[in-house]
Chains A and B, each alone.
Chain A
Amino acid sequence: MTDHDAVRDLLAAWAFGALPPAEEQAVPAHLAECETCAAEAARLRETVRLLDGPAVNAAPPSATSEVLSAALNARPAAPRVAAHAAPYAAAVAGVKALLPQAEGRWGTPVVHDWDVHATVAHLLAADEPLAGRLGIAARVPATPEPEGVSWGDAWDRRTAEVIAHEHARTPAETVADWAAQAAALLAAPEARVPELAARATMLMGVRLPIADHYVVRAFETWIHSDDIGRALGLAVPPPPAGHLGQLVRLAVRVLGLALGPAAPPVLFAVDGHEQWVLGSEDEPVHGELALDPVEFCLLVGGRRTPDEVPHRAAGDEGAVRNVLERAASLSWL
Chain B
Amino acid sequence: MESTGETSARQPADAELHRRLVYGDETALAEAYRAYGALVRRVAVRVTRSPGAAEDVAQEVFAHLWSRPYAFDPDRGSLRTWLSMLAHRRAVDWVRSEARHRKDAHADDAALNAIPDASPGPDETVVDRERSLLLHSALAELPRPQREVVHLAYFAGRTYRQAAVELGIPEGTAKTRLRTALRSLAESLADPPDPALERGA
Which residues of A are interface residues toward B (Cβ below 8 A)? 9-13, 15-20, 43-44, 46-48, 50-59, 61-62, 64, 66-68, 70-78, 89-91, 93-94, 96-98, 100-101, 234-240, 243
Contact = CB atoms under 8 A, between A and B. Distances in A.
A64 B22 contact: no
Which of B22, B23, B161 has the largest number of chain A CB atoms within 10 A?
Answer: B23
Nearest to B128: A50
B51 A53 contact: no
Interface stretch (B77-85, B104-112, B177-185): B177-185
A239 B23 contact: yes
A287 B59 CA distance: 56
Contacts of B126: none
B35 to A, nearest CB: 12
Contacts of A101: 70
A251 B200 CA distance: 59
B132 A53 contact: yes
Which of A47, A50, A58 has the largest number of chain B CB atoms within 10 A?
Answer: A50
Nearest to B63: A71
25 contacts: A12-B179, A16-B153, A17-B157, A18-B153, A19-B159, A44-B186, A46-B186, A47-B182, A47-B185, A50-B131, A56-B50, A59-B52, A61-B38, A66-B59, A67-B37, A71-B29, A71-B63, A74-B66, A75-B67, A89-B24, A91-B23, A97-B67, A97-B69, A238-B19, A239-B23
A52 B23 contact: no
A181 to B, nearest CB: 17
Given A44-B186, A58-B41, A72-B26, 10 more contacts: A13-B175, A18-B158, A19-B159, A19-B160, A20-B159, A54-B121, A54-B124, A70-B63, A93-B24, A97-B24
B136 interface: yes
Instruction: State the majority secondary structure of interface residues on B.
Output: helix
Contacts of B129: 53
A196 to B, nearest CB: 23
A94 B123 contact: no
A240 B19 contact: yes
B178 A75 contact: no
Contacts of A77: 24-26
Interface string B74-112: 010000000000000000000000000000000000000
Contacts of A66: 59
B135 to A, nearest CB: 5
A175 to B, nearest CB: 15
A78 to B, nearest CB: 3
Contact of A12 (B122, B132, B175): B175
Given A18-B158, A239-B23, A100 B139 contact: no
Nearest to A66: B59
B141 interface: no
B167 interface: no
